[in-house]
Amino acid sequence: MHYDVFISYSRKDSKAAKAICDALSKAGLTYFIDLEGISGGANFPDILAKSIDASSVFLLLAGKNSYASKFTMSEVLYAFNHKRIGCIIPWLLDDEPMPADIEFLLGNVNWLDSRSHSLDELIEAIQQAIANPSMGFGKTKKDNKWQKWLFLPILPAILLGLGLYTHIQKKRAENVVHENLCAYEGNIARADSLIGLAATLKDRPNTVETTLQQISALKQADSCLNNSDNIAVLYKGTPEYVRFSEPTDKRHFTIKARLDSMYTVWLNQARDAYTFWEDSPAEAEYALMCANYALSIRESNELRIMKNKLEKK
């Protein structure tokens, strides 16, 4: 589905976001906002990335709340890597200084300030960006009004300053990539360690006692891999992506296969013991334990009913 506008915002700015949504609807413009567009259980980062790609304009509600939101900043990075500059519109909400890495990314983007521009002007800017994405609009964030007679003498100093600033910001951007790469590789390494731990526990003589530890280790490993996958999505389509492309599919498959196997074992054990629970307290206790083990892996109405009856006994 195509959208005219992707709205990137912090949930703490929901009131401002709603006002913009109303203005967009009134103007006949379609939009994507995560409050309405993402259902429970969906792959959150993947849907956000695809929705940014499917939108003509990326609208950032810029302010202290969005600067503190990791998801919002990830959306900005993805938009910067995948959209034309004329299609990115930051809408300033307050006076909070912008983080240096974000200002570096959006330094050449035209800005609109909500305190000096109306929503009608914002809508007009969005329509202009849709019509001609290669052109800017309004004023840039920093609008320095140099007189011609003053500009030429200080031009070398400006260029020197810009060169130094660009170098500093480039190093900061590289640091961000390095930090993400460390987190990406660290999560994969921890997942491998947890998968190994689960295998070691499985090989012990009494696996009943280690069942919950195995399940916990496998679920933590899957969560670590998901974190790495989410980081990799941010760099998809960029030159840096090759550094974030270590396959995780086989690891996910190993975890799923092991959990599915454990679930089947404990489900069948629970069913067998449940058959005799009314005649044997020991069987009832064992059936309840097996049901709890299986439910810790996957939800099941059958097991819930079984557990409720056993607990009421």
Please determine, for residue 139, whether its predicted confidence score (pLDDT) is greater than 80: no
Q: Which long-range contacts (CB under 8 A, 24 or more apart) does 36-45 make?
A: 44/230, 45/74, 45/229, 45/230, 45/233, 45/234
First to last CA, the chain: 53
Q: pTM for this one?
A: 0.48
Q: Could you tell me how many helices (H) and strands (E) the chain has, helices first?
A: 12, 6
**Residue 145 backbone phi and psi in degrees, to 5:** -95, 85
For residue 105, the model assigns a pLDDT of: 73
Place of tokens 């299986």: 294
- Between the CA atoms of 92, 94, 98 and 99, what dihedral angle is there, to the nearest 10 degrees? -120
d(CA 138, CA 129): 11
In angstroms, what CA-CA distances link 150 with 73, 146, 179? Answer: 37, 7, 42
Q: Give 248-307 pLDDT, tens digit per residue.
A: 999 999 999 999 999 999 999 999 999 888 788 889 999 999 999 999 999 999 999 999
Structure tokens at 238: 């960029």
In DSSP terms, 112 is beta-bridged to 91
Q: Give 184-219 pLDDT, tens digit per residue.
A: 889 999 999 999 999 998 888 777 778 889 999 999
- Could you say which DSSP state residue 140 is in? E
Least confident window among 55-59, 72-76, 91-95, 157-161:
157-161
